[in-house]
Structure 1
C-alpha cells in the first residue's frame, strides 16, 4: 500500500468518528467503532513499514529481543530482510478479516505446544510501534488462559493465535524465595494488528486502534478441559473428561467455536474439522462428542470394578487409581510420588470385540460382546466416546 492510499484510509476512518463531546447541554455524541477491514488495511501498512525500518539490535542471553529504528543512513539489516531469525507469518481469520500476523521465533522450546484454549505461564514485554515499553511482567511468569471464557486472567486474541507456535521449557527449579525458572523455553516476538489486540479499547498507555508487539517467553502450560455451563452466576467450566488438546481432531493446535458467526461469518476450511458428530458444537465444548445421547464423561468413566486392584481372567490385575480412563495407555507411574502408583494400563476403549454374552444370538444391547485388553490399547482404535454405535443403540 503506498503512502497516499494509507493516509486516504486513515482519512476515511477519521471521517467516520464522531467525538464523545456534548453538542449542547443535553445531547452526547457517540464514537462508532471503526470497520475492522478498513482498520486492518492501515494496521498492515503500519506493521510492514515498522518491520522494514527497524532492526534487531540484539537478543539477550535470556532471549529478549531489543528492537530499534534504523537511523537515517544506517546500514543495519531490517527485521523484514534479516535471516538470523526468519520472519514468519500466520493467517488468522476474525471478524471477517483474514489477518496476516508476523512473528519471530527466537527459540522454539523443547517441551509441549499449547492449543489456543490452554492455560500458559509466560513472561512478556509489550511495546508500542515507536519501541516504547507499554507493559511488562518484568521477567516473572504470568499465568493466563488462552480460552476467553475461563476464569482468571485471559488474554488478547493475538496471543491465542501465536502462542501455539512455541513450546514450553523443561527442568523447572524453585529458588529459596519461591521463584520458578525453566530451561529451553520457547521465546519470540509477535507483531499484532489492533484487531487482534485491544482494538477500540485503550489499555493503560496503549491508545485505541494501536498495533503493538510482544517479546514472549513460554515457560509452562496447563492442559484445559473447557466444556462449560452458563448459569445465573455466570460461566462455569466443568469439562467432559477429555482435555481440549485431545479433542483437536485435525491436530493443528487450534480449536474454534464457529457458532460465533459475528467473529467467524465465513470461516475458511482450515478452521473446520474439530466436530465429530457435525452438530455445530466443536468437541472441545461438546458434552456428547459423538451425539449418541450418552455424555462423553459417562463413556470415559471406568466401571467401579476397574479402579485399583481387581481381577482379569482370574488373575490379580492393577487397573490404576483414576476414575476415568486416560486417553491413551499406558500411563507411567510418577517417580516424584513413591508412595502412590499413578500408572494406568488401559486407555479409553473402543467398542468391544470379544465373545458375545450368548454366542448363539446376534450382538445386541442385551447380548453385548466382552471387552478384551486390545480394545483398550490398540493405537488407532475408534474410542467409544466418538463411536455412535456404542453404547448399543438397538
Structure 2
C-alpha cells in the first residue's frame, strides 16, 4: 500500500470536532431566553458584517478579516449580500430552541465536487474566532478573538457531533479534487471555501467551551476538502441517500427539548417515509412494515450494496429515486 493510500485510509475514522464536541460541553441551565439572546447575537453579527472586510477573497489562502478603518473604502462583508458573483454573503433560516435563527455565511468558492449532508463527516481546515465587545476609551467596540485553528486536518468531523451551526452550514459547500505528492502528503484544489457566522444558540450558548465565553457568536473560516458518507442507522443505506427531498438536511424533530415547537408536517416528515417521527436516516424500518430496511434491500433474496441495486428488468436503478429503498424481484 503506497503512502497516499495509507494516509487516506487513516482519515476514514470519524471524530467529533475537539472544540465543538457536544459531549465535552458543560450542561448548564441558561439564565437567558434563547430568543432574547438571539436578538443580541443577530445585531452583533450584522454590525460585524457591515464594519469588517475580507482582506483577500482568494479561497486558496488563509482568510483574514479586518475592521474597516475610519475613512476606509474597503468593501464590507455586507456588500456581498446576495451577490450574483463570488464572494457571496447568503443566509438560511434554522429552527432550533423555539427560535428561527438567521445563519449567515460567505461563499468564497462553492467547490466542484459533492456536498455533504448534515449528518456526514467532513475533512476541513478551519480557523475559529468568537465575537465580543470591549470598552476602550469609553467606546464599546465589537471585535473577534481567535481561539482555534486547524490548517492541516487529519481526521473527519461528524457533523452530528459538532455545534449545530456546522451541520447547518457545510451542506452549502462542495469538495474539490486532491492529488498525492512525492513526500506522501496530499494537495487539495477547487474545494469549497467560506466563512460561517454562527449565533450562540447554534453554538455553545450559555456553557461556553475551551476559552470561548458564554453567549458568544462564532466565526469560522472553512475549507471543505473531503466527505465521509455516514450510515447512521447501519441499514446499508448512506444517510445522504435517505434525504428524500434532496435538500442536504435531515433532522429528528422528535427531540422536544431542541424542538419544543415542531415545524409543519411537510417539513417535519420530509425525510420520514412512515411518518413515525423518526427520519429515515435514523429509522431501521423506514416504511414501518415490521421488517428492517436492511433485510428489505435484497434482489432475489441476496443482500447487496444499495448503490448497486438493479431494477427487476435488469436496468440500473437510481438509488435516490427509490422512495422506500425496497427492491424485490420474483
CA distance in 2, matches of 1:379, 1:284: 14
| 1:241 aligned residue | 236
Alignment counterpart, residue 255 of structure 1, candidates 250, 258, 268? 250
Q: Within 2, Cα distance between the matches of 1:141 and 1:134?
A: 19
Give, in whole Å, the separation in 2 of the partners of 1:190 and 1:113: 16
Q: 1:381 & 1:165 partners in 2: Cα distance?
A: 22
> Out of 281, 297, 304, which is 1:324 matched to?
304
Q: Is the 8 A contact 1:302 1:325 kept in 2?
A: no
Measure how far apart 1:180 and its partner are.
Answer: 2.3
CA contact (8 A) 1:90 1:101 kept: yes
Alpha-carbon displacement from aligned partner over 1:81-122 (angstroms, at most 9, x marks no partner): 245512100111111110001110011111110000001100
Higher relative contact order (CA 8 A, sep 6+): 2
Provide TM-score, normalisation by structure 2.
0.79
1:343 alignment partner in structure 2:
none
Alignment match, 1:203: 209
The equivalent residue for 1:100 is 102
Larger Rg, first or second structure (1 or 2): 1
Gaps of 5+ in 2: 1-27, 132-142
Alignment of 1:74-85 (within 5 A): 74-82=72-80, 85=87
Q: Is the 8 A contact 1:141 1:219 kept in 2?
A: no
CA distance in 2: counterparts of 1:252 and 1:383, whole angstroms = 15
Equivalent residues in 2 for 1:330-369, closer than 5 Å: 347=309, 349=311
Alignment of 1:243-322 (within 5 A): 243-269=238-264, 270-303=267-300
Give the Cα separation in 1 of the matches to 2:61 and 2:268. 32
Q: Which moved more, 1:137-146 or 1:253-262?
A: 137-146
Aligned partners of 2:322, 2:58: CA distance in 1, in Å? 48
SS for the counterpart of 2:64 is strand
Distance 1:109 1:378, change over 3 A: closer
> Does the CA contact (< 8 Å) of 2:319 and 2:325 recur in 1?
no
Kept in 2, the 8 Å contact 1:115–1:164? The answer is yes
* Shift >6 Å, 4+ stretches: 378-381
Distance 1:77 1:59, change over 3 A: closer
Contact kept? 1:188, 1:215, Cα under 8 Å:
yes
Tell me the equivalent position of 1:71.
69
Structure number having the greater strand percentage: 2
Matching residue within 157, 167, 170 for 1:160: 167
Q: 2:227 aligns with which of 221, 224, 229?
A: 221
- Which residue in the other structure is 1:34 paired with? 32
Three-state SS of the structure 1 residue aligned to 2:227 is: strand
RMSD of Structure 2 on Structure 1 (CA): 2.6
By how many angstroms is 1:69 displaced? Answer: 0.8
1:380, 1:198 → 2: CA distance?
35
